[in-house]
A and B are shown apart, each in its own frame.
Chain A
Amino acid sequence: MMEKLLEMASRVCDQVEIYSLEEIADGVSFENAKLKEIDSTNQYGLSLRMIKDGKLGFAYTKNLTNREGLLQNAMDSLKGGVEGLFDFPSTQEARSPETYDVSVESLSNTALVQECQRVCDRIVRNTKGQVNMSAYRAIAHRRVINSRGTDLSGRSSVYSLAADILFPGSYSAVHRRVINKKFVKTPDDTLQFLLDLYNQAESEAKLKAGKMKVLFLPETLYTLIWRLQSAANGKNIYQKVSPLMAKMNEEIFDKQLTIYDDPLDDRVPWARGFDDEAVSCRRFPIIEKGTLKNFYYDLFYGKKMGTPSTGHGYKSSMWGGETVSFKPFPSLSHLFIQPGRGSLSEMIATMKKGVIVAGALGAHSGNILNGDYSIGLAPGLYVEDGRIVGHVKDAMVAGNIFETMKRVAEIENEQHPGSGGMYPAILFEDVNVASKH
């Protein structure tokens, strides 16, 4: 089917690329420890890019019932004059990380419901907080072919369970997620971690505004990571709006911080051997011991900057959406922050007075390009003399990542799933906290 389309398109232009994605997913959700919803989806989609006389055409569809119509849409789009000076890659081989476990094919919704129920029961017995939970399984099959002979495909499976314990009167909660390429029972220590965090912080605390130690949990580090992703994005380098433009090989963060992208690391189920433009993936340092090492590019912005794609062209957006409808765009989605030495409890013990960011509100607003952040705590866990003494609301943590990330006190010795990567908790010195009190 795709080959026929490739052949038809090749007759009318210089280069062609076809991308297809088939996904099935089932998800169950529990609210207040009760089964609430089960939803399923079965989606297929395909997109076509073509290059002719240095111009780029793009089209997509959900059902390939009308090849001529899709081809016509791409040719109409060519007329707009979008620049397409790059070449699609001839990638004969890409590494194949282990991303698929066949057992997920037969993982039933009954099994998802049973596991959620087991975890809910365990939490409910040990806390007064409200428990919300969701679990899903998904299988995706992705294929990219192009007129330069590239034909790469990959299949991946994901199982995930996310648990929240909510503070009264709100959705403010402590969270933790289990994610794997096959079903795994949520470990007891994960549940115990959540229970301890919630139970220690159960009472409400008042926080006095000022500069103090702030600990970001892996679940809220995306607040800072989004700003780094934006500043190191090849598009923003090309457009000269990144504060990192002239900082290559400079020490921009604390020496303890090493941040790299590694799509090949298949300990996580979203590992990839090739990006959505069929460029091979590799381990790719962004920050090495505090020093800026690389900006990341797709084919389009790589060509603009006279550098090859770094294998970061992904069809994604910040807010989800229909994958096939997006053109590839530079995206850093397999991040790892190198763990440090201390355990989380040891790190908390070093905080004479400070706050743990357990939930962030409004990480998407503010001047992201400039590195500024200003988030509501939902909640913050207040620490005094090395112990969590309660949760705080009505308070904000604010700063600029290029100052905050220079002041690392300590990094946790373990990585946990966060948004777009695997992160340890990180403790920072002297972060500004605003509060009513």
Chain B
Amino acid sequence: MSSSTEGLTFQDRKFILNGIEGVRRVPMFKELKSILSKVQADYADIRYETKRETKVTFNGEELTQTGSNTTDGYVLRVLKKGGLSSIAFTRSRDAERAIRTAEENALLISRHVKEPVKLARTTVVRETFTPLLEEDPRHVSIDEKLELTRKYNNIPLKHEAIATTTTDYLEITRDKYFLSAEGSEIREDLITTRIGGLISSRDGALIQNVRVGVGGSHGFALLRNQEEEFEKKTSIALQLLKARPVEAGVYNVVLNPSMAGVFTHEAFGHFSEADLIEDAPTLREKMQMGSKLGNAVLSITDDPTLPNQLGFYKYDDEGVAAKPTKLMGHGVLKGRLHSRRTAAAFGEPLSGHCVAEDYRYAPIIRMGNIFIEPSTRTLDELQSAVGDGLYLLDHLGGQTSGENFTFGAQYGYVIKNGHPAEMVRDINISGNLYQTLKNIVAVGNDLVLSKSGGCGKGQMNYRSCNGGPHILVNGVVIGGQ
């Protein structure tokens, strides 16, 4: 579905014209070929991107930002005598200097490494891929985007106890041109939209915050008719003012899909990224293929090819086709996320998970859509199984150190005799990855994947998507206050 061109601004029309395939594609690939032809190395690839960001921001009732801007740049990677190096640059006139720097850096690495870097073989691809969108956001006027954001922003603001909001519309369009010395020539567009932010409630000196976010990777239609989500999060922000802080201690907990997703991403997923364990021998030893790390109820997959999910893409930023990758099956480690370099180093299959934030960065290994596979238990059954414990909902971000992780929940309920009772706040949980994988003793039947994301691993990934069904975890440490 796509909207008509009625109501387009001049700028939008100009953009669509610029975006027509064939008008820019040929000259850009010609320029990239010319740059690559000057590289003297065993392998090289280059990615050029234009990135268009449209932002609308409200702080409380006030509009504080609106506009669209386009930025661009190049990333060149060079493999020479077993050393792999990258350089990012803005101006085409800097290309020759960039080539020399990347070649020198690759040689410098090659003189220091014992094991020369190899890249796993991949299929040569020549393709232009444009994702199917439910309403192309580029065809929606900025005025309409502004009014929709204002409408959602006004939902919390009509309540007296809501102190303020921050509500953003963010649309990022990346037009990527990838060319490799092996002959791959790939055009792919990634279009991400979201409306989200923070709702802050206040009672005297007590301030509570709830995050809200809607959006995804397949069009503007996802942003429409989301009033209910903003109403729901507003209500939680108001209820939190009456909730009591959770008591520190060790609990059996039911995690909702958002919490299960962030556990899967933070605690487990990062250590399925081969680059994070490659040179950490003690971690790598634990993450051996075939190791029984989790409870038999636990299966985890990362699949960037899932249509209509936030983390969708077809080719990664090394030109490798993304593949569904089973990481854990019934508690046993089955697979890993790889770049071409790590796939060769580990002797494992390519997965197509080497992705960059934008034109400022060389790609690194990232998750696409990672999730716990659903099983059969209902939420009621999981809560009954807990007996006395906590039901924790909606993550507030997390972090991992490898063996240990910490992440926050926006709110929770005390479970008494198998039923959720009073609301609690100030919940941060901490755990040991390996113990927790074993302590996930039951998995629900209701898989939900996240609609907006952000994972920082040196670079930001706004399309980081995770999820799961409700899960039951025994023995979780809660920090409280």
Q: List chain A positions with a Cβ less than 8 A from chain B.
A: 26, 31-32, 34-45, 57-63, 72-74, 76-77, 80-83, 109-110, 113, 117, 130, 166, 168-172, 209, 235, 239-241, 243, 300, 319-322, 324-325, 327, 359, 361-370, 372, 374-379, 393-400, 432, 434-436
Contact = CB atoms under 8 A, between A and B. Distances in A.
Contact of A43 (B73, B113, B164, B460): B73
Given A32-B280, A35-B109, A376-B401, A73 B69 contact: yes
A170 B426 contact: no
B286 A320 contact: no
Contact of A432 (B90, B101, B202, B481): B481
Nearest to A363: B399
A82 to B, nearest CB: 5
Contacts of B90: 42-45, 62-63
B71 A45 contact: yes
A396 B406 contact: yes
B402 A63 contact: no
Interface string B178-215: 00000000000000000000001010011111000000
Interface string B60-72: 1011111111111
B68 to A, nearest CB: 6
Given A57-B67, A398-B428, A39 B362 contact: yes
Contacts of B163: 239-241
The interface residues of chain B, by DSSP majority, are classed as strand
23 contacts: A26-B101, A31-B279, A40-B86, A41-B88, A42-B94, A43-B360, A44-B90, A61-B69, A63-B91, A80-B146, A113-B112, A171-B402, A240-B202, A325-B53, A361-B399, A361-B430, A365-B397, A367-B207, A367-B425, A370-B209, A376-B399, A378-B406, A379-B401
Given A39-B85, A436-B475, A169 B403 contact: yes
Given A39-B86, A395-B430, A325 B71 contact: yes
Given A42-B89, A325-B69, A359 B406 contact: no
Given A394-B477, A396-B477, A241 B56 contact: no
Contacts of B105: 26, 38-40, 109
Which of A36, A320, A434 has the most chain B CB within a 10 Å cutoff?
A: A434
B216 interface: no
Given A169-B282, A361-B400, A434 B248 contact: yes
Contacts of A374: 406, 408, 426, 428, 479-481
Given A37-B109, A399-B481, 13 more contacts: A31-B278, A31-B279, A35-B113, A38-B109, A39-B87, A43-B88, A61-B71, A80-B66, A82-B65, A83-B64, A319-B460, A325-B53, A363-B399
B331 interface: no
A77 B67 contact: yes
Nearest to B262: A365
B421 interface: no
B417 interface: no
B403 A376 contact: no
A170 B63 contact: no
Which of A26, A130, A241, A397 has the most chain B CB within a 10 Å cutoff?
A: A241
B207 A366 contact: no
A172 B405 CA distance: 10
Contact of A109 (B53, B108, B432): B108
Contact of B279 (A36, A42, A368): A36
A21 to B, nearest CB: 11
Nearest to A57: B67
Given A42-B90, A398-B428, A400-B481, A170 B67 contact: no
Given A72-B11, A322-B360, A370-B206, A40 B101 contact: yes
Interface string B259-300: 000000000000000001011111100100000000000000
Nearest to B475: A436
A393 to B, nearest CB: 5
Which 5 A-B pairs have CB atoms at the shortest separation, nearest pair first? A80-B66, A77-B67, A376-B406, A170-B402, A362-B406
B397 A364 contact: yes
Contacts of B362: 39
